[in-house]
Chain A
Amino acid sequence: MLERLGMSSADELFADVPADVRAELDIGCGMSEMDTVNKITQMLGKNITAADMPCFMGMGSYRHYVPATVDHITGMSEFYTAYTPYQAEVSQGMLQALFEYQSMVCELTGMDAANSSMYDCATALGEAAKICGSVSRKGKVFLVPEALSNERYSVLRNYLIGTGITISRYGFDKKTGSLVLDEIKAAVGKGDVCGIYAEMPNVFGCLDKNVAKIRSVIGDTLLVIGVNPLCMSIVKSPGEMRADIAIGEGQPLGSRMGLGSPLLGMFACRQEHVRRIPGRISGMTVDADGKRAFCLTLQTREQHIKRSAASSNICTNGALAAVAAVVYVSTLGADGMFNIAKKNMERAKSLMSLLSKVRGVEIAFDNTHFNEFVIRLSKDASKVNSELLKKGVMGGVPLKDHVKGMDDCMLITTTEMHSDEDHKKLADALKEVL
């Protein structure tokens, strides 16, 4: 091949790289496949996993059962080794799967249109807030709950840098954990709010009835509702609550925790906003023979066409996690989706009742919960977690870093993966620790 190029050595291929920028690599020698696999397997073996001991953490990353079909289908290399489906004719498989994913997201959220995924719920929130800022003629204040995970709040702040949009927060009822409608009403009354964000369930795991009432106090201000898609089979959708944009963390649908990866940002909206959606979208059309076909669409919003005027810079997103989600939902089917939601609610109810009997534990909020709830402890929550670990249990997520004034609280999450025995183990360990 070099000969064909008229070269005598491969060095000539780099004749254009000046000597003063040359640098050797120094990252060690390569390894055989066997050594590579063994070394990394051994390294990761130092982890203690949620399969080794029960873990009651959630808040945006959940341990659910993943049906074998998900691994099988996402493991098909026609899907996972493909690029973003720019060339529609050779990518109908991915494009249809993504259209089905979008359809599933629209069904769960009660919306008309969805994109084919974002990085995670936090970045979807950032993009949603930007849309509110650009649509609204009233002002540039985006309202978010005080009770919000710090991950989402911090990412949102970064996404709003340079947009002129500022964040303001509304509170929650200390007894029920529900949002305070009057605070939203008062804030909107000032006339400078461009959008409101609320979650279902909220960060405390509450199925907050007040979320359904937000529309009644905000007029036509844009409303963004973030959801856990797993409860959407039994809970009213953002669409039914008259939200404009629905977002969510899709990881519970067929993706594993993986130290927080992959995540799956869901993004859906009403048809009137389709031309503002960030990211890739699969759309339905026809081919030259009039046969149904799919392609990436509304690309004039995107960075590779619009460059600095694009609605977002997003390029590579979370397509394979989106495929995992639609395969998950298809495998469970409607009945399976009802049952899994019901089961998660039941698990939380049963664990709550068990823990409420432990001295030093108080159920923080009087409300209906999905699969998470807050407990208030007689000791510092982080310290309790360290003690629990010694007893072979990983406790919940301490709320200290997320919600002000809740240093003695932790968010306990339970799913269909926890047995009664796991629940008992947590209760017993708490009894000893407190």
Chain B
Amino acid sequence: MDTFAVHRSDFEQFSTLQLHGFLDAHTAPELEKHFETLISEGRYKIIVNFENLNYISSAGLGVFMGKIENVRNNNGDIKMCKMTPKIFRVFDLLGFPALYDIVDEEERAKFLFEKPSS
């Protein structure tokens, strides 16, 4: 079953990972690889677009927790956008909105990179 896909696009200093399908213990290593590639290329301004993600479990959440420190230590961040209510509920249940910027649109995420206090 091909249940998860990541589409990457780069624009100037930003890299966007668009997630599709189901992010669970089976598919989380795939997302981890994408983060490792970005980090190895020195691309630390990362936007994750959740628009087409249908499901997330703690294995998926663990990928973000596992990378955030490295990314922030390099003056970057992982910003999140376009979450469906179902996905947002899981993030919210665990208090993740206190740790990550979760916004409606990709443009807003880019804006926050440039003006973090806004």
A complexed with B? no
Residues on A close to B: CB < 8 A? none
Residues on B close to A: CB < 8 A? none
